[in-house]
C-alpha cells in the first residue's frame, strides 16, 4: 500500500466521502436549529438568562465532539440538569450554579475513571425499552404547551411540517426533511404575514461568543459544602442519561462506543462549560435522534457542527432565526417522538408473549419517568424492580431431593440450582432433622453458592443436625463455592 493510500485510510469518513460530509453538515444544521428553543426553555427552568443555556449547548456540543466516547451523539443543556440545579440558583445565585457545574464535571471525570459505566450492564432490556418509550412520551409532552392556547394557523402549520417530513424523503434524501420543513414553513409564514409564535418569542439570542472566567463565588469550604450535593446529583443524573442515550445510539447504529470515555468526556465538557459561564448539560436524546435517526449522521463532525452552527445562527443570523415559527420545530420534535417510541414493544402479539414481570418493569419505568420527568429516577426504579422480579423468579429454582440408603445409615440430599439470599431462605426447612439417620450427606454438585446468606443457611443445617448428635458432610462444591464456603463457614451466625 502506498503512503498516499495509507494516509487516505487515516482520514475521517467525512473527508474521504463527500456524501458523508454533506449528511454530517446538514445534520448539524438541523440539530442547531432544534437546540435553540430547547436551550432557551431549559434556561427558564433553571432560572437563568437564555444566553446561559445557549452558551452551555455550544460548549457542551463542541467539547464532547472531541472528547466523547459516542460519535454523533448530541450533548447540550438539558431539562434534567436544569431541574437539579434550579434550586441552587434560586437560593444562592448564578455564581454558585456555575461553580456547581464545574464541580459536577470533576465528579463525572472521577466516576468515569472509577468505571461507573460498567454499571450499565445491570440495566435490563425491559428497562431500556421503558426508557426509550418514556423518552418519546416526554418529548411529545414537551410540545403540548406549544400547541395550547395558540393562534389557529399553528395547527395546519404543524400538520404541513409533519407531511413534509413524511413525504419529502420519497422525493430525495439529499437534504434532511426536517431542514426542508423548517425552511418552507418559515418562508410561508413570513411571505403570508401569518402571526404565530416564533423562536424570538422564547427569549433574546446572544450577540457575541461566551468569554471564559472563574465563577463569582468565595473559594471557601462553606461554598464547597453548599454546592457539593447539587453537583453530585447533577453528575449522577447527567451520566445516567448520557450512558443510556449512548447505549440507545449503539443499538440504532449497530456500533460500539466507549462508555468510560463518554463518562470522562461528559465531565470534561461540563468543566469547560462551567468556565465559560454555562449551565451545564448532558446527552440530549431528542436532538440525538434528530441527528442519528432522522438525518443519518454518524460522525463527530455533526456533533461539533451542531454546537458551532448554534452560535452562528444566534450571532450572525439572529434576526432570521428569531422569525422561525415554533410550529416548525414542534413538528420536528413530534416526528422525533414517534420515531423514538418502540411501537413493537406495545404490539398485542409482543405483549402476549412477554412474561408479566418484564411488562411490569417496562410499565413501572415509563410511569416513574413520566411522573417525575426525570429519566434517572425511572431507570433506577425500573432496574430495582427488575432485580426484584428476577430474584423472585429464581428463588424457587433451588431444589432438594433426598435418597436414603437401604440400610438406613445414610441419607443423601441432592441440592440443585442457584443458592443466594432469596433461594437459600427456604433451604433450612427442606431437611428432616428428627427422623434422618446419623450420617447426612449434602451433595452440592448441581448447585452454586453465591453469597453469605447461603453459607449461613448451610451452617444452620449442620448445627441443627449436630444438636441431635448427627454428622453432616457437604460434597460436590465447585471451586468458587468451595472457596466462599471455606472462607465464611463458622464465621457467621448460624441462626436457630
Q: Quick one: pLDDT at residue 11?
A: 59
Q: What are phi and psi of 253, to 5 degrees?
A: -90, -5
DSSP state of 206: P
Closest CA relative to residue 24, chosen from 308, 375, 236: 308
At 58 the pLDDT is 96
Average pLDDT, the chain: 88
Per residue in 317-348, pLDDT tens?
888 888 989 898 888 888 878 887 889 899 99
Residue range 230-288, pLDDT digits in tens? 999 899 889 988 998 998 899 888 899 999 999 999 999 999 999 999 999 999 988 89
For 49, 68, 352, 383, 437, the CA distances from 356, given in Å and listed in that order, are 47, 38, 9, 16, 44
CB 361 within 8 A of CB 382: yes
State residue 321's pLDDT score.
Answer: 85
Give the chain's count of helices (H) and strands (E).
20, 6
Query: Could you read off the pLDDT of 396-445 as tens digits, one per residue?
Result: 667 889 988 887 889 999 999 888 887 787 788 889 999 999 999 999 99
Residue 496's pLDDT band (boundaries 50, 70, 90)? very low
DSSP string, 250-304: HHHHT----HHHHHHHHHHHHHHHHHTT----EE-HHHHHIIIIIS---SHHHHH
Which pLDDT tens digit goes with each residue over 17-74? 777 888 899 999 989 988 888 788 788 778 788 889 999 999 999 999 999 999 999 9
Place of cell 451433595: 443
Q: Is the pLDDT of residue 5 over 50?
A: no
Does the pLDDT value for residue 223 go beyond 70?
yes
Whose CA is closest to 435, among 465, 414, 461? 465
| Cα distance between residue 487 and residue 485, in whole Å | 5
What band does 118 get if pLDDT is binned at 50, 70 and 90? confident
Query: What is the C-alpha separation between 109 and 101, in angstroms, rounded?
Result: 13
Instruction: Give ∠ CA 346-352-357 in degrees, rounded to 5.
Output: 80
Q: What is the pTM of this model?
A: 0.72
Average pLDDT over residues 84-101: 92
Helix, coil or strand: residue 395? coil
Q: What pLDDT, on the 0 to 100 scale, is given for residue 14?
A: 53
Beta carbons within 8 Å of 307's beta carbon, 6+ residues apart = 32, 57, 58, 59, 60, 61, 62, 65, 76
Residue 272's Cβ-count burial label (10 Å; 0-12, 13-18, 19+) is buried
Amino acid at each position: 500500500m502506498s503512503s498516499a493510500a495509507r494516509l487516505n485510510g487515516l482520514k475521517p469518513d467525512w473527508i474521504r466521502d463527500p456524501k458523508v460530509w454533506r449528511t454530517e453538515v446538514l445534520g448539524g444544521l438541523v440539530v442547531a436549529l432544534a437546540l435553540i428553543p430547547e436551550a432557551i426553555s431549559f434556561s427558564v427552568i433553571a432560572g437563568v438568562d437564555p444566553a446561559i443555556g445557549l452558551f452551555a449547548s455550544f460548549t457542551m456540543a463542541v467539547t464532547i465532539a472531541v472528547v466523547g466516547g459516542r460519535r454523533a451523539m448530541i450533548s447540550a443543556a438539558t431539562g434534567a440538569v436544569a431541574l437539579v440545579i434550579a434550586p441552587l440558583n434560586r437560593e444562592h445565585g448564578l455564581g454558585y450554579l456555575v461553580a456547581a457545574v464545574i464541580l459536577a464535571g470533576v465528579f463525572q471525570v472521577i466516576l468515569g475513571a472509577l468505571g461507573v459505566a460498567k454499571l450499565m450492564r445491570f440495566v435490563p432490556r425491559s428497562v431500556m425499552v421503558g426508557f426509550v418509550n418514556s423518552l418519546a412520551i416526554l418529548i411529545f409532552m414537551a410540545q403540548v404547551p406549544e400547541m395550547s392556547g395558540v393562534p389557529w394557523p399553528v395547527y395546519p402549520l404543524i400538520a404541513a411540517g409533519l407531511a413534509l417530513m413524511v413525504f419529502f424523503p420519497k422525493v430525495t434524501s439529499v437534504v434532511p426533511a426536517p431542514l426542508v420543513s423548517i425552511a418552507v414553513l418559515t418562508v410561508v409564514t413570513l411571505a403570508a404575514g401569518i402571526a404565530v409564535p416564533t423562536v424570538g418569542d422564547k427569549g433574546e439570542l446572544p450577540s457575541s461568543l461566551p468569554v471564559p472566567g472563574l465563577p463569582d463565588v468565595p473559594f471557601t469550604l462553606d461554598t464547597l459544602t453548599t454546592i457539593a450535593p447539587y453537583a453530585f446529583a447533577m453528575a449522577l443524573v447527567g451520566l445516567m442519561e448520557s450512558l443510556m442515550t449512548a447505549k440507545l445510539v449503539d443499538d440504532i447504529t449497530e456500533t460500539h462506543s466507549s462508555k468510560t470515555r463518554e463518562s470522562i468526556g461528559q465531565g470534561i465538557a461540563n468543566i469547560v462549560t462551567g468556565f465559560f459561564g454555562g449551565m451545564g448539560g448532558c446527552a440530549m436524546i431528542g436532538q440525538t435522534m434528530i441527528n442519528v435517526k432522522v438525518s443519518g449522521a454518524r460522525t463527530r463532525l455533526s456533533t461539533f457542527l451542531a454546537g458551532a452552527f448554534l452560535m452562528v445562527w444566534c450571532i450572525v443570523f439572529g434576526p432570521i432565526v428569531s422569525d422561525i415559527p415554533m410550529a416548525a420545530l414542534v413538528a420536528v420534535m413530534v416526528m422525533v417522538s414517534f420515531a423514538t417510541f418502540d411501537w413493537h414493544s406495545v404490539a398485542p402479539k409482543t405483549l402476549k408473549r412477554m412474561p408479566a414481570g418484564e411488562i411490569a418493569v417496562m410499565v413501572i419505568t415509563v410511569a416513574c419517568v413520566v411522573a417525575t420527568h426525570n429519566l434517572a429516577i425511572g431507570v433506577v426504579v425500573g432496574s430495582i424492580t427488575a432485580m426484584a422480579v428476577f430474584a423472585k423468579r429464581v428463588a424457587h429454582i433451588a431444589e432438594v431431593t433426598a435418597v436414603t440408603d437401604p440400610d438406613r445409615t445414610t441419607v443423601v440430599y441432592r441440592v440443585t440450582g442457584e443458592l443466594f439470599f432469596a433461594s437459600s431462605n427456604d433451604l433450612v426447612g427442606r431437611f428432616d432433622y428428627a427422623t434422618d439417620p446419623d450420617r447426612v450427606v449434602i451433595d452440592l454438585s448441581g448447585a452454586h453458592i453465591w453469597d453469605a446468606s447461603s453459607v449461613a443457611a448451610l451452617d444452620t443445617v449442620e448445627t441443627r443436625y449436630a444438636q441431635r448428635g448427627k454428622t453432616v458432610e457437604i460434597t460436590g462444591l465447585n471451586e468458587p463455592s468451595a472457596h466462599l464456603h471455606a472462607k465464611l463457614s463458622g464465621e457467621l451466625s448460624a441462626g436457630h
